[in-house]
Amino acid sequence: MYSVLLLFYIVYFYLLYLLVKLLTISFSFFKSKKVSNKIIYLELFGPPMAGYTARSRYWSDLLRAKGYESDVYWVITYEQYKQLMSKRHGLLLFQIKTLWKRVKQCWITRDAALIIVRRELLMYNDYGNLFLEKWMRCMHKSLIIDFDDDIAAAKHEGQKRRTLFSRLMLESHTKFTSSLAYYDACIYGTEYLYQQFSPRAVSATRHLILPTCVRDYAKPLKQYKGDNVIRIGWVGSSYNLRNIEAIFSQLETLYERTAFEFILICDKVTTIHTTFPLRFIKWSEDAEVENLLQIDIGLMPLFRNDTARGKAAFKLIQYMSLGIVSVASAVTINTDIIEDGANGYLVEDETKWVEVLDMVIRSRSQFAQIGEAAYSRISNTYTFDANEATYLSFIKQQLTGA
């Protein structure tokens, strides 16, 4: 069955590849008429993923409110993605489904004045020697790429072994880094990503550092009471569960010292056996704030590798925007956001979570003060309101060429 599906995929891929190559040649001679203020975002995952809701959808809605014609085209929902990947040949099925849909979406953007690609045009599928990027470059005079993770590190660029299949499929082993040459401007989620990738974006004439933002809730909503059992929590996708599970043994040691309840907010129900009480809450966009406010101490542990260093710290920003006391690994952007002991706490040594959390819990009388400082830090820098004027100016410059 797999051999038949693989053969179908190869034939299917090359048919679309040749179609796109022909379209690329035709667009090198013929340019579509552009709608002067039409802006299209190309996103991989649709609702309720944070990249869609907190980057593409919000900014597209804002542009529309400002008089632009704007929309977001996404390929697949996260639920559909999980369903596909749970199947026996899920990766191939995912590539077949997303490739055709993305080719169609690229075609219908031909009259847009500005295209903003979120992260990459295709996920997992690094085949075809950047054929979609080359097509989009021929079709449009203004392309922006927006990314908030170190995708090159996540893909282990330059470390893969070349195989007969990869050569047959024209696989690019530096796809993400090489794709930057086809964009006129880059939006980076963090200063770290700007430092890493701006020298490689040789064709880009404009650069913007734009954090993944949250709404300004006007004041910290979290109310701390000294007589309650401490609730420690984590929010995130099931894909990133390994980050929090890595410190569960330390949390079990902590529970031997002090009582607490652990709240796990996630998209997928998982069976996790722990010695400390664990309460699972299924993630919901509508109830996200309400659920987060049940947490007294929000955690953001990360492995110390290049992928983690490229993270945009969105969950940390979420905690702090609500005045929740946060404890995070001392990795890149986390150290930019948190002033240790003033608006949150940092863990310098990943074997010391017990010691740090024990100290934090014993300092619960300061939680309200820490929460106020956390809210102020986020409100001033990491909210949509704080970044609106800069973003609109950047988009206008890209449209006008000024």
Percent helix, strand, coil in the chain, to 5, is 45, 15, 35
Nearest alpha-carbon partner for 320 in 207, 202, 227, 216: 216
Distance of CA 331 to the CA centre of its chain: 17
Q: Cβ(334)–Cβ(312) under 8 Å?
A: no
Q: How far apart are CA 73 and CA 136, in angstroms?
A: 15
**Options 3.40.50.2300, 3.40.50.300, 1.20.1250.20, 3.40.50.2000; CATH of 230-381:** 3.40.50.2000
**What are the domain boundaries of the chain?**
2-213+384-400, 230-381
Q: How far apart are CA 154 and CA 147, in angstroms?
A: 13
The CA R_g of the chain, rounded to the nearest whole Å, is: 23
Q: How far apart are CA 38 and CA 116, in angstroms?
A: 11
pLDDT band of residue 141 (cuts 50, 70, 90) is confident
56, 58, 138 from 71: Cα distances, Å: 9, 10, 21
Q: Cβ(37)–Cβ(399) under 8 Å?
A: yes
89, 159, 256, 279, 362 from 297: Cα distances, Å: 40, 38, 18, 15, 12
Nearest alpha-carbon partner for 239 in 188, 311, 173: 311
The C-alpha angle with vertex 151 and arms to 235 and 192, in degrees rounded to 5, equals 80
Of all residues in the chain, what percent carry a pLDDT higher than 70? 98
Predicted local confidence at residue 124, as pLDDT: 87
pLDDT tens digits for 305-364?
A: 888 888 889 999 999 999 999 999 999 899 999 999 999 999 999 999 999 999 999 999
DSSP characters for 77-101? -HHHHHHHHTSTTHHHHHHHHHHHH
Task: Give the H/E segment covering residue 397.
Answer: helix 384-400
DSSP characters for 214-261? B---SS------TTSPEEEEEEE-GGGHHHHHTTHHHHHHHHHHS-EE
Q: Cβ(251)–Cβ(274) under 8 Å?
A: yes
Q: Is there a common fold for 2-213+384-400 and 230-381?
A: yes
Does residue 31 surpass a pLDDT of 70? no
pLDDT tens digits for 269-291?
A: 777 889 999 999 999 888 999 99
* CATH number for the domain whose boundaries are 2-213+384-400: 3.40.50.2000
Tokens of 63: 């542009």
Of all residues in the chain, what percent carry a pLDDT higher than 90? 77
Query: Mean pLDDT throughout 96-117?
Result: 96
pLDDT tens digits for 178-236?
A: 999 999 999 999 999 999 999 988 888 899 999 999 988 766 678 887 767 899 999 99
Predicted local confidence at residue 225, as pLDDT: 76
pLDDT band of residue 12 (cuts 50, 70, 90) is very high
Sheet with strand 114-118: strands edge to edge: 69-76, 38-45, 114-118, 143-147, 185-188, 206-209
Query: Mean pLDDT throughout 353-381?
Result: 95
18, 19, 61, 210, 327 from 24: Cα distances, Å: 10, 9, 31, 31, 50
Amino acid at the residue 173: H
